[in-house]
Chain A
Amino acid sequence: MKIAPWIAIAAFGFAGAAVAQDDNTLNVEGETLLTETAAPAHMDSVDTIYSGWRFRSSETQALQTDDFDNPGMIFVDTAIEQWDKVDGSEGKACSSCHEDVADFAGLRTKLPRVDNGELVTMENLINECRTDRMGAEAWKWSKGKMTAMTALIGLQSRGMAMDVATEGEAAPFWEKGKELYYTRVGQLDMACSNCHEDNYGVMIRADHLSQGQINGFPTYRLKNAKLNSIHGRFKGCMKNIRATPFAEGGDEFKALELYLASRGQGLSVETPSVRN
């Protein structure tokens, strides 16, 4: 409810802009993505969840509506080349085992998930292939090759609803993530919730605070003109509140990723999204 006033203002304010476009409806290449839906039952103090796309200016929004205009797609192109590239001691490429990357449709909506008692993200799955099956070196969590590949694989699920498991063996990880979300840390003594639950839609300096949804990651940011990983963004947030960030790929961030994914249940995967 809280978001409604500024969305209305934004729509009004941009009504005269050159790009004739509805600021509330995201159409990508003819497909409509869901950027707003009822909050999942576990969220007590939020009624409606919104994609981060809804908090951006119409110019930034427009960049995501066309796959050619979306600069994140250049990196997807590099991952398509990488897909067929043989690497490591076993003489294999991704395509040696996975014939068509399109077979990964739906995977992004289910991650992170529990495999053999461990919480795993897409980065873990990719590196497991690289080290265990290809005999290649693991990629760094937020470096270019990894974010390009997570974008390519995530893209196969674009338009599908986020749908992570939070119960059963996932429950303890989810609980840990929730605890982290509400725990104040750093010199500024802030929790994720202070910005992204209590104050989304309001200004933080000259910027609009979003709900901190992760359905569009990895995301191309205008700020650094590259794809940004989920854990990389977490790290940025923690630095901003003057906290010592947890390690990318560590248990804390993986648990937080699961909890955040569950706060976006039902929103369309937008990978690779464009943000400021």
Chain B
Amino acid sequence: MELTRRKILAIGSGTVAFATLSGLPAFASLTDDAIAAFTGGAETGEGAITLTAPEIAENGNTVPIEVSAPGATEITLFAAGNPVPNVATFKFGPLSASRSASTRIRLATTQDVIAVAKMEDGSFQMTKANVKVTIGGCGG
């Protein structure tokens, strides 16, 4: 059998497709594991938690985000596309007013930012926001 350029390309793209397929679930599970560690595997609801993040971040080094979940005792943030998904956990004390916080985070690439809140009744709320991270114009 002669290996033509076309065949090599076909083999090559097959490998890429395989790598992509096998790579994705691995990534997802890293974040899923982190979420499960926080919720203890409990179901998460939605609607009582808000995550505000830019649709497009001008620079992944400093992405402003705000999270709010009235009645939450704890909110934790994940960045699904970062090498380590955990970003920060806010535990609200007795003198905390609105259960909200703003900070600035690093995003390695375009990805989902996920916020999970533990509510006073022990239930969980989850929301996510996709943030596109652009590549700088000159030299990155």
Residues of chain A having any CB pair with chain B under 8 Å: 17-18, 56-57, 59-60, 62-63, 203-209, 222-225, 236-237, 239-240, 276
Contacts and interface: CB of A to CB of B under 8 A. Distances in A.
B55 to A, nearest CB: 8
B137 A209 contact: yes
B139 A236 contact: yes
B138 A60 contact: no
A207 B133 CA distance: 11
Contact of B138 (A56, A59, A204, A222): A204
Contacts of A223: 59, 61, 136
B44 interface: no
Contacts of A225: 61-62
B53 to A, nearest CB: 9
A206 B57 CA distance: 10
| For the complex of A and B, 5 pairs with smallest distance between CB atoms | A207-B137, A206-B134, A204-B137, A222-B59, A276-B58
A207 B54 contact: no
A246 B85 CA distance: 42
A18 B136 contact: no
B46 interface: no
Contacts of B52: 18
B140 to A, nearest CB: 8
10 contacts: A57-B56, A57-B58, A59-B58, A60-B58, A62-B64, A205-B134, A205-B136, A207-B58, A207-B136, A208-B137
A236 to B, nearest CB: 7
Interface string B97-140: 00000000000000000000000000000000000001111110
Nearest to B50: A18
Nearest to B139: A240
A205 B64 CA distance: 22
A60 B136 CA distance: 14
Interface of B: 52, 54, 56-59, 61-64, 66, 134-139
Contacts, number: 55
A56 B66 CA distance: 20
B137 A206 contact: yes
A222 B139 contact: no
Contact of B64 (A59, A204, A207, A237): A59
Nearest to B136: A207
B138 A240 contact: yes
Given A18-B66, A222-B62, A225-B62, A59 B137 contact: no
A59 B138 CA distance: 20
Nearest to A56: B58
Contacts of A237: 138
B27 to A, nearest CB: 23
Nearest to A62: B64
A263 to B, nearest CB: 19
B82 to A, nearest CB: 17
Contacts of A240: 138-139
Nearest to A220: B62
B54 A59 contact: yes
Given A18-B52, A59-B54, A59-B57, A206 B62 contact: no
A223 B59 CA distance: 6
Contacts of A17: 54
Given A60-B59, A63-B64, A206-B136, 20 more contacts: A17-B54, A57-B56, A59-B63, A60-B58, A62-B64, A204-B137, A205-B136, A206-B134, A207-B134, A207-B135, A207-B137, A209-B137, A222-B58, A223-B59, A224-B61, A225-B61, A236-B139, A240-B138, A240-B139, A276-B58
